[in-house]
Amino acid sequence: MYVLGIETSCDETSCGVVRGRHLCSLVTRSSLPAHRQFGGVVPEIATRAHVRVIDRVCAAAIEDWGGSLNQLSAIAATVRPGLIGSLVVGVNFAKALALALRKPFIGVNHLHAHLFAPFINAPEPPEFPFLGIVVSGGHTDIYRVDDFDRIQLLGGTVDDACGEVYDKVARTFGLGYPGGPVIDRLFDPAEKNAFQFKCGRSGLEVSFSGIKTALVYAHREYADRGGLDQKTVVRLMSSFQESLVSTLVEVLREAVRRSGLSTVVCGGGVTANRYLRTRLKECASEFKAVLPPMEYTADNAAGVAGLGFYLYNEKNYVSPLSLEAESRG
């Protein structure tokens, strides 16, 4: 059995083929360069980019695999959540392909696919049940996962997502887009406590809008004084990242205490953050953090195809062709 996965929830157009948890091919094209001048993803630009390249990306993934469309057992695609225009391109392409090939169509939740990413090519995949956390530009969510058809949302952000705050702070300071990798490169552990920024937290819910506002005011204050030098920027960004990462670690500790589960499967673009990965590994005496390989942290079709294969093969799950894309999860 082989399953084709299609991911178009944001600015990446990605197609991949899996057999079980083994990734046979993966091709991803991003429209990120077209969004940089705007400091964030422009939905219309992303949608048009998907339309232009999705057929070529799919063909390249099939070619890299070395098989043929007729050898596929099913077609999986992200149906939610994400930018609605982007999702519609991928979902309709997948449904048309499934209809033409007379293959089953499987609609996949983008966030659950992030949680499946650490299962791809893993010699010893995590065992159920486990806690899951998705940290990305659009989401910061914590789950209890008893199986991939039994996922319960436990908590997360009540306002801005973690990656979104990275981008907004970076834009305020003129650091470029996306903001997360830039701020992570600037991070200096020796300066992480130079400023005392705080994120809101209550139980398993977190709030990042306050720290974003605090950084905006800090930038304004230094601008009124005559500007920012590079050392001060490093100190501010290091303290900012320390607060965000510490908050994520603390909320996971709380989730572990409440659930009694000691395995935390991580997914999403922010899990590429070097400091976050370091801090999670340092928690080994409290819980085991299962991190995706760096190449599977960003949006891509590996997790979509893998999760589609699992749901189809293990759970006999098939979606109706009437299933529509949804912007919300």
Q: Which domain holds residue 81?
A: 3-118+297-315
The reply to whether 269 falls in a domain is yes
Q: Name beta bridge partners: 7.
A: 14
**Strands of 12-19's sheet in order across:** 22-30, 12-19, 3-7, 74-80, 105-109
Q: What is the 3-state secondary structure (H, E, C) of 111-158?
A: HHHHHHHHHCCCCCCCCCCEEEEEECCCCEEEEEEEECCEEEEEEEEC
Q: What is the 3-state secondary structure (H, E, C) of 236-277?
A: HHHHHHHHHHHHHHHHHHHHHHHHCCCEEEEECHHHHCHHHH
Residues 301, 197 share a domain = no
Residues 276, 139 share a domain = yes
Phi, psi at 73, each rounded to 5°: -95, -25
Q: Name beta bridge partners: 290.
A: 265
* pLDDT tens column, 16-57: 999 999 999 999 999 999 999 998 999 999 999 999 999 999
Q: What is the pLDDT of residue 310?
A: 98
Q: Name beta bridge partners: 155.
A: 142
The β-bridge relationship of strands 12-19 and 22-30 is antiparallel
Question: Which CATH number fits the domain that encloses residue 73?
Answer: 3.30.420.40
* pLDDT tens column, 77-131: 999 999 999 999 999 999 999 999 999 999 999 999 999 999 999 999 999 999 9
Share of the chain above pLDDT 90, in %: 98
The reply to whether 309 falls in a domain is yes
* pLDDT tens column, 112-122: 999 999 999 99
**Mean pLDDT estimate for the chain:** 97
Residues 248, 226 share a domain = yes
Residues 277, 133 share a domain = yes
pTM attached to this predicted model: 0.95
